[in-house]
Structure formats: C-alpha cells, structure tokens
Amino acid sequence: MTMQDFAMRYWRNQGAPVEKLRMGFATYGRTFRLASAASGVGASASGPGSAGKYTREPGFWSYYEVCTFLQGTTVQWIDDQKVPYASKGQDWVGFDTKESFETKVNYLKENKFGGAFVWTLDLDDFTGQFCGQGTYPLIGHLPHF
C-alpha cells in the first residue's frame, strides 16, 4: 500500500465524501545526497540533494531540472509505489512521469475519487526546452475527468 493509497482510504473511511477527495500530482522531484555507493530504494542519505540550477533549493528540483539530470542516467522503477527514480554520483531523485501520472489517474477513477490537483504549473517543462516532450509534458498528459 502506498502512502497516497493510505491517505485516500483513511479520509474516505473517516467519512469524507469520495467525490470531494483529490490526489496531488507533482511536477517536481525530491532529491537526496547518497551517503554511499548504494543507490537503490532505501539507500542511506546524508541530506538533501544539491540545489537545482533554477529552483535553487536543496532537495527540490523542477521537472525540467529532473529532465536535465536524467541525461546519462538509467531511470529505475519502484514497483510498489509505481514511481521512478534515478541517481548519478551522489545525487538521487524521485519524481513523476507520464507513466506514474497514468497509474494515479487510473487509481482515482477505479476508486471513484473526485479528481486531482497539480503542484505546480511552473515546475513542469512549460517551455518545452528541457525534456524534449513538448510544452507541459506532465500536465498536458493528464486526462479530463
């Protein structure tokens, strides 16, 4: 069970109307500085990853910064969470993709939850210059409910 599944079911089971429950879709990645050569899920971290070139906040990269980082890496998939991650050197980043967005949308539809919200428009590749997937590759991939 994922953290999102736990939270959505918790609120539903507490009596919240399912049509009012929304799940967040992130257009950013969370980064960590690896403490050793191990880079898989659960690897030790010594703190947040380096600051992004544009976001300038340690541990937090926009999706367009993630796309730049992914060049020369192999994206790994966390099966039980249905999300990807990648690492290079001591930097590790977990993020969403079109595929993980699809999984979340299917989950929302199957459980008849109310919908989604995105955080945030300006963190997606709004210019289409970084990811090679056109403008707003993540947000533009979300279907209408």
Q: Give the architecture-level CATH label for domain 23-36+45-135.
A: Roll (3.10)
pLDDT digits (tens, 9 = 90+) for 22-40: 999 999 999 999 999 999 9
| pLDDT in the model for residue 3 | 83
Residue 65 has pLDDT above 90, yes or no: yes
What's the pLDDT tens digit per position in 100-125?
A: 999 999 999 999 999 999 999 999 99
Distances (CA, A) of 72 to 34, 69, 81, 84, 130: 18, 8, 24, 15, 14
pLDDT of residue 145: 57
The pTM for the full model equals 0.91
Q: Where are the domains of the chain?
A: 23-36+45-135
Q: How much is the pLDDT for 134?
A: 96
Hey, which residues does 34 pair with through a beta bridge? 45
How many Cβ atoms are within 10 Å of 113's Cβ, its own excluded? 21
Q: Is the pLDDT of residue 13 over 80?
A: yes
User: Does 52 score more than 80 pLDDT?
Assistant: yes
Sign of CA pseudo-dihedral 59, 63, 64, 66: positive
pLDDT of residue 143: 77
Check pLDDT > 80 for residue 144. no
Six token digits for residue 120: 């945030």
